[in-house]
Amino acid sequence: GDSVTQMEGPVTLSEEAFLTINCTYTATGYPSLFWYVQYPGEGLQLLLKATKADDKGSNKGFEATYRKETTSFHLEKGSVQVSDSAVYFCAFQSGGSNYKLTFGKGTLLTVNP
Amino acid sequence: EAGVTQFPSHSVIEKGQTVTLRCDPISGHDNLYWYRRVMGKEIKFLLHFVKESKQDESGMPNNRFLAERTGGTYSTLKVQPAELEDSGVYFCASSGTGYEQYFGPGTRLTVT
């Protein structure tokens, strides 16, 4: 069935380190892919998206590329900041009339100064 | 513009009791969704309203869960009677005509 597998956390990095959080998905058809972020005490916020193969989503220095051949959507950032500490969720939406999001388990990122 | 709000932020109840969670979507959003995250697991879809109609309720765990959206505005999710495995964070989200879902802060439900 439909599922998302993302890197288990927690991930702890020093400020300015490079970040990669791996995400792969199993879905029928051609889903849209998302990364959501949840900062402490807040709701989930859309971080970036990609709607078709080879699209690159980017926001706030984060990037992820829709790789259909490997069914992956890995999140990267070249230089993390303390303010990036949050839980990151990879998700997809199958599209058509099906709006529901299928999420991974989330990855807790802590960035130390 | 006010975001999605949820009430209460945290609820602690005993097994067998009833709890009602409330979600107020962004004004004008016809689509409203409920999701749940059990500790350590992924966020799972529960159901989707379009206005006051249930579009998809395939994720509702069992008949102890009842969701309503009278008048197509706010929604409630009632759990009756609550069981230990119902503990988790319940998220509500809403969307307009686009794909992006806007999430509330969640309600943390603890069943003891």
Contact B45/A42, CB-based, under 8 Å?
no
User: Can you give the pLDDT at residue B1?
Assistant: 65
Q: Which residues of A touch B31 (CB under 8 A)?
A: 99
Q: Where is pLDDT greater, at A70 or A42?
A: A70
For residue A101, give the chain B residue with the closest CA: B45
Phi, psi of A22, rounded to the nearest 5 degrees? -80, 145
B67 DSSP 8-state letter: E
For residue B34, give the chain A residue with the closest CA: A100
Report yes or no: B99 at the A interface, CB cutoff 8 Å: yes
Among left, alpha and beta (phi > 0; psi -120 to 50; other), residue B105 is alpha
- Name the band, by pLDDT with cuts 50, 70 and 90, for residue A98: low
A109 to chain B nearest CA, in Å?
Answer: 15
Candidate from B4, B48, B105 with C-beta closest to A100? B48
Report yes or no: B101 at the A interface, CB cutoff 8 Å: yes
Contact A89/B43, CB-based, under 8 Å?
yes
CA atoms within a 13 Å half-sphere pointing along the CA-CB vector of B110: 5
For residue A5, give the chain B residue with the closest CA: B42
User: pLDDT digit string (tens) for A18-39?
Assistant: 999 999 999 988 899 999 999 9
Per DSSP bridges, beta strands A86-95 and A107-112 are antiparallel
Report yes or no: A43 at the B interface, CB cutoff 8 Å: yes
Residues B45 and B87 sit within 8 Å (Cβ to Cβ) = no
Whole-angstrom distance, CA of residue B8 vs CA of residue A61: 34
> What is the percentage of chain A residues whose pLDDT exceeds 70?
97
Helix (H, G, I), strand (E, B), or coil: what is residue B23?
strand
Candidate from A44, A45, A103 with C-beta closest to B42? A103
Closest CA to A41 of B111, B10, B102: B10
Q: How far apart are the first and last CA of chain A?
A: 41
Contact B105/A43, CB-based, under 8 Å?
yes
Any residues with CB less than 8 A from the CB of A78 and at least 6 apart, and which?
A18, A61
Q: How many CB pairs under 8 A join A and B?
A: 57
B101 DSSP 8-state letter: -
User: Can you give the pLDDT at residue A97?
Assistant: 65
Q: Mean pLDDT for chain A?
A: 93
- The owner of tokens 């959507």 is A73
User: pLDDT digit string (tens) for A64-87?
Assistant: 999 999 999 999 999 999 999 999
Q: C-alpha distances in angstroms, B77 versus A39, A78, B23, B47, B82? A: 25, 41, 8, 10, 12
Residues A71 and A25 sit within 8 Å (Cβ to Cβ) = yes
pLDDT mean for each 10 residues of chain B (112 residues): 91 97 95 93 94 93 94 95 96 89 94 97
User: pLDDT digit string (tens) for B21-49?
Assistant: 999 999 999 999 999 999 888 999 999 99
Phi, psi of A73, rounded to the nearest 5 degrees? -155, 65
